[in-house]
């Protein structure tokens, strides 16, 4: 586990995983091929993995070790962030193994146990193994039960076993509680890593850095100065080939329950005593416990489905015309909602969350919108274009921070004030390129550093917030339609207009 009492010098030293290996379930999926396997290679290429690191693939395929190694090689060549180095690849390749079998077959786990034990001897992994479940959530119980009965999940005084669980963590509060209870019977709390890749992004972590490393912001970070907070995650793509997963899940379960509520927690939390896992999680949980829904969900929530339209100059079909989607589906592809935080710092400040597919462009941002100045000693016509000051954290793709404020227009006979922006961009300020989120998170799993992984309490609090909205929407019939390539249904603008506010255009 990480040590919160490390000296400043220790904290500057590179964090390198000790002897260990990873077992990857779901090696044929896009997530494993495009994110997990390349991240493992990039970590090895940057020197963060031990020389004897091992990677075991598990799937129902008639593959030999060499076949799986070729799959990993191809995914690395296509998707790795760092340059391909033959020396790195050969070292990694020596530790690649494959176990063929069905997820429900006990004999396959016996073979997996044998392979893991063999790697402990041949590669010096020391009995330390992480089990990465890159599989559909419905298969989690099957794998967890077999990891338990086979003895693969058992920690020893000299070795650790950990599990990595991809979202979604359930589809409502009840299912999340059932999943958490099951996981708890197999792995102890400190060995469970619920991965939310958004928390691994440098720009998300920068929210905490900007808040707590700069004295200029903290005095303003409260209801005395902040008018509202807007958190947006917009995608310019449709569901692609994910119809089987997405239909029945929808935008709110897919994004708001995890990504956007986590961004809210980081934006609104109090300063932790240290950045040890327990301290950070405690502050996030306090904030999520204080989140309250408005009484009138009809007035303060919005949902929609993308219809046919144009995306990047190309005509695209609507959600109901996508292959594999029920033409009568009520699943939302756009979701927006207002929440309030019932504590001293944020009382009276609405937090607006929205996400959607087939929107104008891909962007994720957190905009802290400040109140207008109480008195403007200028002529009305001189400030008619002046909006609220704002501090905007740009999470992706144009990573950085924007500050919007008023400034005098030059070469005018009288003082005329307009909005201007000041930008900080990661790519220009730092020579180091930002690692992929999965690099950071996988390394944290292997080191045993859990601050960026939500505990079961956070997961359940997220469902406690969202479930009443989902129940309300289930009774409302078809979502509003919106044209692909736009910014979502009109009802979202009406939602903010009732509060005397407007969405910031990303």
Look at the block and give the residue holding tokens 């030293």: 13
To the nearest 10°, report the CA torsion of 386, 388, 393, 399: -10
CA distance linking residue 474 with residue 466, whole number of Å:
12
Beta-bridge mates of residue 486: 359
CA distance linking residue 444 with residue 438, whole number of Å:
10
CA distance linking residue 315 with residue 114, whole number of Å:
53
Look up residue 213 and give its two tokens.
């490393």
Ramachandran region, residue 125 (left: φ > 0; alpha: ψ -120 to 50; beta: rest): alpha
CA atoms within 13 A on the CB side of 469: 27
**Nearest residue to 249 (alpha-carbon basis) of 466, 26, 461, 459:** 466
**Residue 330: strand, helix, or coil:** coil
**Residue 501: strand, helix, or coil:** coil
Domain borders along the chain are 8-166, 199-497
Q: Which residues are part of the catalytic machinery?
A: 259
**Nearest residue to 471 (alpha-carbon basis) of 137, 172, 170, 169:** 172
CA distance linking residue 258 with residue 459, whole number of Å:
7
Residue 200 to residues 5, 334, 434: CA-CA distances in angstroms?
A: 22, 24, 11
**Nearest residue to 344 (alpha-carbon basis) of 407, 416, 424, 287:** 287
**Nearest residue to 227 (alpha-carbon basis) of 381, 374, 401, 383:** 374
CA distance linking residue 28 with residue 36, whole number of Å:
11
Which residues lie closer than 8 Å to 321 by C-beta, 6 or more apart?
Answer: 308, 327
To the nearest 10°, report the CA torsion of 442, 445, 448, 451: 80
506 residues of the chain, pLDDT tens digit each: 444 434 333 343 457 899 999 999 999 988 999 999 999 999 999 999 999 999 999 999 999 999 999 999 999 999 999 999 999 999 999 999 999 999 999 999 999 999 999 999 999 999 999 999 999 888 999 999 999 999 999 999 999 999 999 888 889 999 999 999 999 999 998 899 998 888 888 888 889 989 999 999 999 999 999 999 999 999 999 998 888 889 989 999 999 999 999 999 999 999 999 888 889 999 999 999 999 999 999 999 999 999 999 998 899 999 999 999 999 999 999 999 999 999 999 999 999 999 999 999 999 999 999 998 876 666 555 556 677 899 999 998 888 899 988 777 777 667 777 778 899 887 777 766 677 889 999 999 999 988 888 889 999 999 999 999 999 999 999 999 999 999 999 999 999 999 999 999 88
Q: Where are the alpha helices (DSSP H) in 320-436?
A: 426-429
Q: Could you say which of 3.30.360.10, 3.30.365.10, 3.40.50.2300, 3.90.1150.10 is the CATH number of the domain covering 199-497?
A: 3.30.360.10
CATH architecture of the domain 8-166 equals: 3-Layer(aba) Sandwich (3.40)
**Strand-strand pairing, 363-370 and 390-396:** antiparallel
């Amino acid at each position: 586990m990480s040590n919160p009492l490390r000296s400043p010098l220790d904290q500057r030293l590179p964090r390198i995983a000790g002897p260990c290996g990873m077992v990857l379930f779901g090696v044929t999926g896009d997530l494993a091929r495009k994110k997990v396997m390349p991240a493992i290679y990039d970590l090895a290429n940057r020197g963060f993995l031990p020389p004897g690191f091992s990677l075991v693939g598990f799937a129902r395929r008639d593959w030999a070790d060499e076949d799986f190694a070729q799959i990993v090689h191809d995914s690395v060549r296509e998707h790795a962030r760092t340059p391909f180095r033959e020396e790195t690849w050969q070292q990694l390749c020596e530790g690649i193994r494959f176990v063929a079998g069905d997820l429900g077959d006990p004999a396959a786990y016996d073979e997996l146990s044998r392979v893991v034990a063999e790697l402990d001897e041949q590669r010096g992994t020391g009995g330390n193994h992480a089990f990465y479940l890159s599989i559909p959530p419905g298969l989690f119980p099957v794998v967890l039960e077999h990891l338990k009965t086979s003895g693969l999940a058992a920690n020893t005084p000299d070795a650790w076993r950990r599990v990595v669980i991809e979202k979604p963590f359930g589809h409502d509060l009840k299912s999340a509680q059932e999943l958490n209870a099951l996981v708890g019977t197999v792995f102890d709390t400190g060995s469970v890593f619920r991965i939310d890749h958004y928390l691994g992004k440098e720009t998300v972590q920068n929210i905490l850095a900007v808040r707590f490393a700069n004295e200029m912001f903290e005095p303003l970070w409260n209801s005395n100065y902040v008018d509202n907070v807007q958190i947006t995650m917009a995608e310019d793509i449709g569901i692609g080939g994910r119809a089987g997963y997405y239909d029945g899940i929808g935008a709110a379960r897919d994004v708001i329950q995890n990504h956007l509520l986590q961004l809210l927690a980081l934006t609104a939390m109090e300063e932790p005593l240290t950045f040890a896992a327990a301290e950070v999680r405690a502050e996030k949980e306090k904030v999520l416990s204080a989140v309250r829904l408005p009484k009138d969900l009809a007035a303060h929530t919005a949902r929609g489905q993308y219809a046919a339209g144009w995306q990047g100059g190309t005509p695209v079909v609507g959600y109901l015309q996508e292959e594999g989607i029920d033409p009568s589906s009520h699943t939302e592809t756009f979701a927006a909602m207002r929440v309030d935080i019932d504590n001293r710092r944020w009382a009276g400040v609405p937090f607006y969350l929205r996400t959607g597919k087939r929107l104008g462009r891909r962007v994720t941002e957190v905009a802290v919108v400040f109140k207008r100045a109480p008195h403007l000693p200028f002529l009305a016509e001189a400030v008619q274009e002046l909006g609220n000051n704002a501090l905007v954290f740009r999470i992706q793709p144009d990573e950085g921070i924007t500050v919007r404020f008023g400034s005098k227009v030059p070469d005018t006979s009288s003082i005329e004030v307009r909005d201007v922006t000041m930008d900080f961009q990661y790519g220009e300020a730092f020579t180091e390129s930002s690692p992929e989120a999965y690099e950071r998170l996988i390394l944290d799993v292997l080191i045993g550093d859990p601050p960026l992984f939500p505990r079961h309490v956070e997961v359940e609090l997220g469902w406690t917030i969202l479930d009443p909205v989902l129940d309300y929407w289930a009774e409302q019939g078809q979502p509003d339609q919106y044209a692909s390539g736009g910014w979502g249904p009109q009802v979202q603008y009406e939602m903010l207009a009732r509060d005397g506010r407007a969405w910031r255009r990303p």
